[in-house]
Amino acid sequence: MISSLNPSTQRFLNALNQISQSLQQAQLQISSGLKVSHVSDAPDSVSALRAARANLSAAQQNQSNLRRFKAEADGGEQALQTAVQLFDQVQTLGAEGDTDTVTASTRADLANQLGAILQQMGNLANTSMEGRYIFSGDSDQQAAYAINLSSATPVSGYMGSASTRVAPFPDGNTFSVALTAQTIFDSSNPATNVFSTITSLMAALNNNNDTAIQTAVAGLDQVSAYLNTQLAFYGNAQDNIAQATTDNQSLQTQLQTQISNLQDADVTSSITELTQAQTQQQAALESEALIPRTTLFDFLR
Is 244 or 295 the better-scoring residue by pLDDT? 244
Q: Report the chain's mean pLDDT, rounded to a whole number.
A: 84
pLDDT in tens, 120-137: 999 999 999 999 999 999
The pLDDT score that the predictor gives to residue 54 is: 93
What pLDDT is recorded for position 44? 60
Pairwise pLDDT comparison (301 vs 126), residue with the higher score: 126
- Report whether pLDDT(248) > 60: yes
For residue 281, give Cα distances in angstroms to 15, 16, 30, 66, 275: 9, 7, 19, 55, 10
- Residue 278's pLDDT is what? 59
CB atoms within 10 A of CB 277: 20
pLDDT by residue (tens digit) across 249-260? 999 999 998 888
Supply φ then ψ for residue 13, to 5 degrees. Answer: -65, -40
> Which structural domains are found in the chain, ordered by start?
65-258 (1.20.1330.10)
Q: Does residue 281 contact residue 207 with C-beta atoms inside 8 Å?
A: no
pLDDT bucket at 263, cuts 50 / 70 / 90: confident
pLDDT for 262 = 81
279, pLDDT greater than 90: no
DSSP symbols for 129-176: ETTEETTSTT-TTS-S--B-TTSSS-BPPP-S-----EEE-TTS-EEE
By C-alpha distance, which of 138, 145, 181 is closest to 161? 138
Q: Is the pLDDT confidence value at 110 over 80?
A: yes
Confidence at residue 47, expressed as pLDDT on a 0 to 100 scale: 83
